[in-house]
A and B are shown apart, each in its own frame.
Chain A
Amino acid sequence: MSSNALKPPGERPADASQPDFSRPKDGAIVEFRKVRKAFGDLVVLDDLDFTVAPGEKVAIIGPSGSGKTTILRVLMTLVEPDGGEVYVDGQPLWHMVVSGQKKPASEAHLRKVRQSIGMVFQHFNLFPHMSVLRNITEAPIHVLGKPRKEAEARAKELLGMVGLGDKLSAYPSQLSGGQKQRVAIARALAMQPKVMLFDEVTSALDPELVGEVLGILRQLARETDMAMLIVTHEMGFARDVADRVVFFNAGQVAEEAPPEELFTNPQNPRTQTFLKAVLEH
């Protein structure tokens, strides 16, 4: 795809002296460009530049409060950035380009671009008033407009994949934490996103249930071609599944490298301190 194909039709060619906010880097599924976000005085994203290639599996690690989760929440449109640009699958996420001018994204625009993104939450956020099956089929039917039969067949397939084929009619309150998280993964997969966000998905689980969820994610990382952004404290897991590990500190990418490199030979002193602290513990 040529870069011109991403431009809205009829737009004047961008002046080279102006920053071109209408167009992301070629071939990136996600791009953050000088993204800023502060909560009060606390700067959580500090002119963040960050790119993800299609299908890439990226693990994001870092001290708590470093803004890791905010990256995912900005992408999922749960947190609006204060400045900069975010692109998803070739389109600006938080802004629109109207006759060469940058405008805040409308709800319709957000919904369109959001379609490429899915998210699994730390606390599952299953719908407690719906059966497991309906948790998964609700959005495909009511958002994508799929026929019920097709949505249910796909949901059953996905539940089989996460090992819960026998829980179709159970309610979330009847499931263990690990089972809930596996349903949440199936629910997000049913929307067929191009980018899937995992926000500390094992942090709320009892230790003996962590393995079953990580197992699913490992399988997913091997078998799908969607990009995965994984915020995690499980270093062994990050090492196994990621193509690239990003160490995030003080609102910026402090260091990024393939897992072998980053874990065995970290360059940044902050990365060294952090890894020392988590791996020794």
Chain B
Amino acid sequence: MFDRITFDWDWEYAFQILPQLLEATIVTVQATFVGFALSLVIGLLFALGRRAPLKLISWPVTAVIEFIRSTPLLVQLYFLFFILPRWGLSLSPFLAGVIGLGLHYGTYLSEVYRAGIDSVPKGQWEAARALNFSTIKTWRNIVLPQAIPPMIPAFGNYFIVMFKETPLLSAITVVELLQTAKIIGARSFRYVEPVTLVGLIFLLLSYPAAIAVRRLENRFVKQRA
């Protein structure tokens, strides 16, 4: 098989497969956005659950967070896609993929939330109580609006990391960028062009995103000073 693989770059072939790869890029970007949105919600729920005054809530939540964070994302994806159906829960590849991403990154983001929430001074909670805000309004109007802005750069970094981890979804047959490249390669026995193009597409998207995050970070540092 290896003697059939060529390492010469073929421009014509590269342009021929480009539209198919760009289409797959849409799936990759969708998986990133949906997965990240999920992890933002799950992360907040984890962070709140972990600091719940009831140990009946905070201990199991802590255990779940530690379990998810200490096992590989790939294993979790396999579990969601190949093993859950045995218990009657069949998920589409895309759905299993974004749930996996959301849960896994949710545990990371819960730490970001925790740090942000802890950065709100105790006096703010006390002022909220002195003004008789309800618990929900204390969180919504007083604490989270102060806790979230300093979290944004960290969120941005995790967003980029998650984007670059989406090729893992190819393992559960999500037809995203890498899976598409593998399909193209298997069809033509030419892997150099599709895989190189996949790398380039990731670079072209994540590098500007990284610059944007850095700008955001600088702006925040300036605001604080």
Contact = CB atoms under 8 A, between A and B. Distances in A.
A78 interface: yes
Interface stretch (A98-106, A120-128, A251-259): A120-128
B137 A142 contact: yes
Interface residues of B, number: 17
A115 to B, nearest CB: 6
Interface in B108-134: 121, 123-124, 126-127, 129-134
A111 B127 contact: no
B206 interface: no
A77 B127 CA distance: 11
A139 B124 contact: no
A129 B126 CA distance: 16
A142 B141 contact: yes
A82 to B, nearest CB: 19
A117 B132 CA distance: 9
Nearest to A138: B141
Contact of A111 (B124, B132, B141, B146): B132
B123 A78 contact: no
B146 A139 contact: no
A143 B129 contact: no
A123 B124 CA distance: 10
A188 B130 contact: yes
The DSSP consensus for interface residues of chain A is loop
A78 B126 CA distance: 7
Given A129-B145, A129-B146, A143 B126 contact: no
B142 interface: yes
A179 B181 CA distance: 64
A194 interface: no
B127 A143 contact: no
A107 B53 CA distance: 13
B130 A119 contact: yes
B143 to A, nearest CB: 10
Given A128-B146, A129-B146, A138-B141, A115 B126 contact: no
B131 A111 contact: no
B135 A143 contact: no
Given A121-B126, A121-B127, A142-B137, A127 B142 contact: yes
Contacts of B121: 125
Contact of B123 (A111, A125, A191): A125
B127 A142 contact: no
Contacts of B137: 142-143
A165 to B, nearest CB: 22
A143 B145 contact: no
Given A128-B146, A142-B137, A142-B141, A191 B126 contact: no
A118 interface: yes
A77 B141 CA distance: 20
A143 B131 CA distance: 8
A187 interface: yes
Contacts of B133: 139, 142-143
Nearest to A134: B141
Given A125-B123, A125-B124, A128-B146, A139 B131 contact: yes
A109 interface: no
A60 interface: no
A114 interface: yes
Most buried by B among A124, A126, A138, A139: A139
Interface in B159-175: none
A143 B132 contact: yes
7 contacts: A78-B126, A118-B131, A119-B130, A125-B123, A125-B124, A125-B127, A127-B127
Interface of B: 121, 123-124, 126-127, 129-135, 137, 141-142, 145-146
Given A77-B129, A143-B133, A191-B132, 13 more contacts: A78-B126, A78-B129, A111-B134, A117-B130, A121-B127, A124-B123, A127-B127, A127-B142, A129-B145, A129-B146, A138-B131, A138-B141, A139-B132
